[in-house]
Structures are given as structure tokens and as C-alpha cells.
Amino acid sequence: MKNIKKILLPAVAAFAFGLAGLIPAAGAADVQEAPEALVQRVTQEVLEIARSDKDVKAGDRKRIQQLVETRILPHVDFHRTTSMAVGRHWREASPQQQQQLISEFRALLMHTYAGALAQIGTQKPDFRPQRSHVDDTEAEVRFQVSQARGGDPMQLSYRLHRSSEGWKVYDVNLLGAWLIETYKGSFTAEISKGGLDGLIRSLTEKNRKLAGAGVAKV
């Protein structure tokens, strides 16, 4: 189960963070778009592009990382995601340590999404009817994804919050496991062994290995 989550969570989640020229950069336009509409629109576009782009399908590292870096990651609030994953230890971190943690966690997820994009197949998202209020500052968008080989659909949820740049994703749930909670456990274990600097070293080493291996096959 853990392996399935590790592979499919980011694979289906190469979703609503924006991808390729069809999707505008995060900004004023996103502020006016409801979170569920944003997730649905971009999910459909991302899946279509990932299936049709020959370089992505061929696993071209440069092309995939370019798409992730310019069109997916800008739609994620890494400060919020990282601080919540680090938990209570975040307040103990110096500004420099906080920036290092954000940078390394961002790099780790970049490798994860890059590997996920190369694996997207015929998954089909099915969005549940839901509506947010115009004054909402937090939202959870839920949908399910049919699997290519049949079986029960995968249940997914995204947590977003409204920022000055529009709605930003900060957490993902697949099969009952939230990304932040999943990382919080491993982060806490690393901090207990080597402190915040130990966690930074661990993330840096993991990113070094992923970079050397090319696009991560998560």
C-alpha cells in the first residue's frame, strides 16, 4: 500500500499546479477562479498534455523538469507545506535553516513530480459536485481517478488556500494518507537523530542521488 501511494499520489497529482502554455501563470486570473474549477480545468489539461507530449512520454529529463519547474511548482505553497511537515520544530529553525528546508523539500517534490509525469497513462478524473463560497480562504477539492486496468477508483483530495497570488495547493490526500502527515513522520525521525541540520543533510543527499539518477521513477 505504501508503494502504491508513493507512485500514484504524485502521478495523478501532476494535476492542477499548471502545465505547459495552455495554462496561465498563477496570478490575478486564478483569484477569480473557484478552487474546484481551477483543479478540474488544470487536471484535465495536464493529463492531456502528459499523454500527448512525445518528449514527456519518452522520459526526456530536461523537458519534464522544465514543465515541472515552470508550470507545476509555482502553484504550490512550499512555505506552508514545508512548515507544516516540519511541525513544531519549524519554530526552532533559524531563517537560514527554514529557507534551506523549503529549498530542499521543493527540490524533492520536483523530482517526484518529474518522475510522475513520465508515468501518466489513461487515468480518468471524475470530479464530485462541490461549491466554495466567495469568501472562503481554505478549500478542499475531492475527486476520484479511474485506473487503466480496472479496479476501484482512487480517491483523492487537495487542500488549497487563498493567497495574494490566487489559490495555492499545500496538501494532497491519496487513499486516506495526507502528504504532509506522511512526510512529518519521516522528518520528525530525522530531526530526532540529527536535529534540523540532520534533516537538511538527509534531504540534500536524497536530492543529490535523485539528480544523479535522472528523472525519478517514484
> Is the model's pLDDT at 20 over the cut of 50?
no
Convert the pLDDT of each residue in 98-147 to its tens digit. 999 999 999 988 887 777 666 666 667 787 777 767 788 999 988 887 76
Per-residue pLDDT band at 35 (split at 50, 70, 90) = confident
| 44 vs 114: CA distance, rounded Å | 18
Please give the Cα distance from 70 to 114 (Å, whole number). Answer: 12
Alpha-carbon span 152 to 24, nearest angstrom? 34
Q: What are the tens digits of pLDDT across the range 59-96? A: 787 887 777 777 677 778 999 999 999 999 999 999 99
Task: Judge contact between 155 and 142, C-beta under 8 A.
Answer: yes
Superfamily of 2-212 according to CATH: Tgt2/MlaC (3.10.450.710)
pLDDT above 70 for 216: no
